[in-house]
Amino acid sequence: MKKVQCLKFLGLLLMCSFFAAPSLAAPDTIPTVARLSYMKGVISFAPAGLKKWIKVSLNRPLVIGDQLWADKNGLVELQLGTAVVRIGDHTSLKILNLNNTIAQFQQTNGMLGLSVKPENKNRRYEIDTPNLAFTTTVSGYYRIDVDSKKNVTIVTVRKGRGDIYGKNSSFKIKEGQSCRFTGNDLKGYQCSAVGPADDFDRFNLERDRRSVKTVIKYVAPEMIGYEDLEHYGTWKVIKTYGRVWVPQVTVTNWAPYRMGRWIWLNRWGWTWVDDQPWGFAPFHYGRWTRWQNQWVWVPGPRNIAPVYAPALVAFVGGRQFNLRVGGAPGIAWFPLAPGEIYIPPYRVNQNYFTQVNISNTVINQTYINQIYNASTVNINYQNINIPTAITAVPTTTFVQSVPVNTEAVEISPETLKAAPVTPVAEVVPEPISVQGGNAPSSAVPSSEIVNEETVTQTEPPPEPIPFTQEQSLLANDPGKPLTEEQLEQLSPQAPSQEQQPAPEVQPAPEVQPAPEVQPAPEVQPAPEVQPAPEVQPAPEVQPAPEVQPAPEVQPAPEVQPAPEVQSAPEVQPAPEVQPAPEVQPAPEVQPAPEVQPAPEVQPAPEVQPAPEVQPAPEVQPAPEVQPAPEVQSAPEVQPAPEVQPAPEVQPAPEVQPAPEVQPAPQAPETPEIQQTPHLQQAPEMQQAPQIQSTPEIEQNAP
């Protein structure tokens, strides 16, 4: 554990001394989240660590252990960056594993659509049902239907291909096939050509086509929520940072991280949930700065897959400083500016620390390494000098996940000057913090559906520790998720019962950018990322130094961004394939006449999921847009004038209803049986190229 001693000058300059044990340097996966991007109808949610069904808000990041239930006529969409998962009515869905190498879900009833984008780089998607496990890495549109009462799962591939695993067999399913399974050994299955699209298919394909229309211009395609930027703001070119995004907001004294609420996420800690329909990507990636009296968002380099962060802010106040807000104990924060390093409240290794920073802002990697390894570093926060950048609320507002904009209070410059700055919100969470302030829900799935066992191809991580068990320990170090050692103490059988965090890492010191960032030397290749399904988001907490006030100094000049770091595409390991037991042959049948497939109903060749959160038929309403019938709106969404609804999307002509294709009276042709899937060797790690100088900035706005 590092010991920290810090001095602060003018509320800006930090000098910290650290004494630490060496960190682990083993390669690791990068944990991530899913964004709740669309809801219609009655949707219930059970957060990881809480055995309680509640209502849920749009833009909430979903993590391992979270569960969703779409009631009658309900629809839900989850954005994953390179894929989208959607569920229909009477569907139960649980997140089993979620990182940059695998997204694994459990579906025990209902209907599910999976759209994988062409930009997917070997990330594996797995859907586990009571009858089988379906996996794919190929772009396309896949549908899984589960009837728990009849013990049936139907897998349909309109575009793409995948693998299906039972307890004792496996085989490949091809484009244009729809196969029905009972039991869990893949015996007695029936396959036919794909039939006509139904309402749920049309919903999925229409949302996919909307995403295809969104041109990925200035951000990496792996960024979750990029589709909203084009419709809720404009891109401009400024001399200092190049391309920036300007949101369409007219709210007086608006600032980033002010229209939303704080929630507590298992393994991640305090997380920002924004109320605005576009409020995901700009608050979990990139940086914010002021330009011409308005706030602009500066994304990271387009050629590096961005790493998600709970909130890219610094906090004002701490355990040793009683910040008073409106006469009550309070906490304040402000957004990080370009070139300022983000220090996670959870423990990370050097590879993660590097990636979460170089993927979200232009910064010198040598400087990052120096900060990570240095015993003394300095930082000059830019936005703390902007009065409108500071948002402060009473601590009770923060803990109870109350909307911030209705409770924000101004604090005096004298109070701000005296208060320490820290990367951690030193506040103890409560159960209401995990709920996100949402009320209980009366629409819940049956215990039979929730507890149904499923077939898994990839062994998922253990269940999260219940929050009630964590709560007492969280009070010992406010604002920081529990360490691996603490979780082991809570679970007698830690290896099999608790989630395994990412490798333990040396906590990074609190940082400050140098006045002028110099071009970095040659970028060293990151350690090879190995697939590790057990690695859970939000590794072990690292201590954040408290910054004490000291004599006044002059603020450092504005940080200039370093030339853009050119990075090779992120190396994704090939999905780990477990050899399946010997395939049991299906009963011999007489070949039926060849089934002629109906006119193929496929989405556009490039299925681009991740919809805009735009008002449209059955879509979550945006500000000042008339909601479609039954569309559940996000709570406290502030109006954003000038936001025009997206034009109505017409279904693509390819989706032509055709008479339902009935299976032939006799058994159809048996799909190709794979006896044992071959292990795919992970692609060779490519060394990142040297840092290239920043290309000439275009002068014309898009």
pLDDT digits (tens, 9 = 90+) for 268-282: 999 999 999 999 999
Provide the whole-model pTM.
Answer: 0.70
Give the span between the Cα atoms of 301 and 220, in whole angstroms: 7
Predicted confidence at residue 129, as pLDDT, reads 98
Higher local confidence (pLDDT), 643 or 125: 125
Furthest C-alpha separation in the chain: 89
Predicted confidence at residue 412, as pLDDT, reads 86
Span 628-634, average pLDDT: 39
H/E stretch holding 211: helix 199-213
User: Could you give the domains of the chain?
Assistant: 34-210 (2.60.120.1440), 220-424 (no CATH)
Classify burial at 603, counting beta carbons within 10 Å of its beta carbon; exposed 0-12, middle 13-18, buried 19 or more.
buried
Position 430 pLDDT exceeds 80: yes
Residue 146, classed as helix, strand or coil, is strand
Predicted confidence at residue 491, as pLDDT, reads 67
Span 192-212, average pLDDT: 94
Evaluate whether 611 touches 206 at the Cβ level (below 8 Å).
Answer: no
Span 427-445, average pLDDT: 96
Position 423 pLDDT exceeds 80: yes
CA nearest 300: which of 272, 341, 329? 341
Span 186-205, average pLDDT: 96
Confidence of residue 121 (pLDDT cuts 50, 70, 90): confident
Position 80 pLDDT exceeds 80: yes
Position 170 pLDDT exceeds 60: yes
Confidence of residue 414 (pLDDT cuts 50, 70, 90): confident
Q: Half-sphere exposure of residue 141, counting CA atoms within 13 Å on the CB side?
A: 27
Confidence of residue 512 (pLDDT cuts 50, 70, 90): very low
Mean pLDDT, rounded, of the chain: 75
Span 443-448, average pLDDT: 95
Predicted confidence at residue 487, as pLDDT, reads 79
Give the span between the Cα atoms of 340 and 319, in whole angstroms: 24
Position 483 pLDDT exceeds 90: no
Position 525 pLDDT exceeds 70: no
Predicted confidence at residue 613, as pLDDT, reads 34
Residues of the chain with pLDDT > 90: what percent? 53
CA nearest 431: which of 266, 541, 287, 220? 266
Position 511 pLDDT exceeds 60: no
Q: How many residues does the chain have?
A: 702
Higher local confidence (pLDDT), 694 or 193: 193
Query: Which tens digits make up the pLDDT trace of 328-368?
Result: 889 999 999 999 999 999 988 999 999 999 999 999 888 89
Classify burial at 172, counting beta carbons within 10 Å of its beta carbon; exposed 0-12, middle 13-18, buried 19 or more.
middle
Evaluate whether 46 touches 73 at the Cβ level (below 8 Å).
Answer: no
- What is the sign, positive or negative, of the torsion defined by CA atoms of 213, 216, 221, 224? negative
- Out of 111-120, 373-382, 531-540, which region has the weakest mean confidence (pLDDT)? 531-540
Position 92 pLDDT exceeds 80: yes
